[in-house]
Chain A
Amino acid sequence: MAGMGNLLDDAVDPELRAHLEAHLATCKTCTVLYDSTRKTVRILADTEVFELSTGEIRSGTESIMARIRALKET
């Protein structure tokens, strides 16, 4: 499992990669798991989750700066 984690992040040395890929070639369960987890990571990166709109960012910034200016005046 830890090996799969590093494989997903492309952080394995060539020898370990060869070993893991050899296992995946013969193990259907691990292949399904690896493939669907890789797609999960891709979906997570491509889906703009928890995104604030430009308007929300602007109004949030104004609110924060108002508080800071009020603090500086006290």
Chain B
Amino acid sequence: MLEALLGNENCLSRAQKERILLAVSAANQSQYGVALHEQMLKLLGVPEAEIAYIVNGGLPEGPDGSLIAFARKVILHPLELCEADVERLRSVGFREPQIVEVVILIGACNLFNTLQFGTGATPDFPTRTIPQVVAENKVYRQALELRPITEEAQEDPDAEWVVRVQNGDLGAFEALVERHTQRVYRTLIGLLGNPDDAKDALQDTFLKAFQNLSGFERRSRFSTWLVSIASNTGLQRLRERRQVESLDEDASDREEFRPRQIRAWGDDPEELYSKAERRTLVEQAISRLPAKYRVVLVLRDVQQLSTDEAAAALGLSVPALKARVLRGRLMLREALAPHFMEGAQTA
């Protein structure tokens, strides 16, 4: 369908089509659509300034301006559409097949934008802020009403702060950074295993969150969304370090772990050490675990995320997450056993 719509230039040129798709996506408040069609227009040599102008509601000069005005009216004021709007297109030189193609493109873009909202797809490339649409926007409003909003998202303590940031309040974002730095840092330590890398990646995580906050659609809590950005940032760093240890689900998730240390622990093993000693012991033991087990333990047992939240943040199925949590706990137990089992020698 895409090939048929976009592949030929018998009626409209590819650049004209992409401008229409960009304008419709912006009118539908589709972050994904805007990012995608912006990339296509850049590849076609359209200047950044023109792209920004269209996204912000401007009309390019010449006949293409009429195309975009028509497309916006179909999306934003469909009840006001009349024959005069079509006549306007004819008056600037568009033929009937081209006008039909415009209408088909608008309909297809509406469909894709709605699918994107429903699936929650997020772009893999840079996004830009889309200005709030003043007029009635049926696709976006319907998408907001129809998409599943998780139970946890309904009780998000950060919801008000997020709205303030989306309305331009930088101070609100600063408050969110301060509130969630510890959480993000621990997630990154879980992935990267060392404090310096984690602190570096911490900055990148919050920058990405700020740049993409206009696209945050509240299908989960803000903190869960932030942790997933941190996870992706950490994974990217691991790839850059050429650490090919994968976090994807694989057969090893289904293998049983065979513990070797089977001596009982005392009733209160933590009493054997001071707080600082215990912290050092536990941090060292966690740091030595493979990243795929380390990160799930940090999210579940240190940060106390629920199974669903942790699975969502890491892009794992719940069974896979549970399997890794159990294995990670058993591995950590094995590493700590010499220090906490009955009769352990405390240095």
Contact = CB atoms under 8 A, between A and B. Distances in A.
Given A45-B302, A50-B302, A52-B181, A4 B326 contact: yes
B319 to A, nearest CB: 9
A57 interface: yes
B194 to A, nearest CB: 11
Nearest to B258: A1
By size class, the interface of chain A is: 35 or more
Interface in B170-215: 170, 173-174, 177-178, 181-182, 185-186, 189, 195, 198-199, 202-203, 206-207, 210
A8 B269 CA distance: 18
Contacts of B264: 32, 35-36
Nearest to A60: B181
User: Binding site of A, secondary structure by majority: helix, strand, loop or mixed?
Assistant: helix
A33 interface: yes
Contacts of A41: 301, 329
Given A50-B298, A57-B182, A64 B206 contact: yes
Contacts of B279: 47-49
B325 A49 contact: no
A47 B265 contact: no
B229 to A, nearest CB: 13
Interface string B268-287: 01100001001100110010
Interface string B291-306: 0000001100110100
B203 A36 contact: no
Given A32-B263, A35-B264, A45 B301 contact: yes
A69 B297 CA distance: 35
Contacts, number: 121
A50 B297 contact: no
Contact of B262 (A2, A33, A68): A33
B265 A44 contact: no
A23 interface: no
Given A47-B270, A57-B182, A65 B170 contact: yes
Nearest to A47: B282
Most buried by B among A35, A49, A65, A69: A49
Interface of A: 1-2, 4-6, 8-9, 11, 29, 32-33, 35-37, 39-52, 57-58, 60-61, 63-65, 67-69, 71-72
24 contacts: A9-B307, A32-B263, A35-B265, A36-B264, A39-B269, A39-B340, A40-B333, A41-B301, A41-B329, A42-B270, A43-B282, A44-B282, A44-B297, A44-B302, A46-B270, A49-B186, A60-B202, A61-B174, A61-B178, A63-B203, A65-B174, A65-B177, A67-B203, A67-B207
The 10 closest A-B pairs by CB, nearest first: A5-B326, A40-B333, A44-B301, A36-B265, A50-B189, A61-B177, A57-B181, A64-B206, A61-B178, A47-B282
Given A36-B341, A68-B206, 6 more contacts: A29-B262, A37-B330, A39-B340, A44-B301, A52-B181, A52-B182
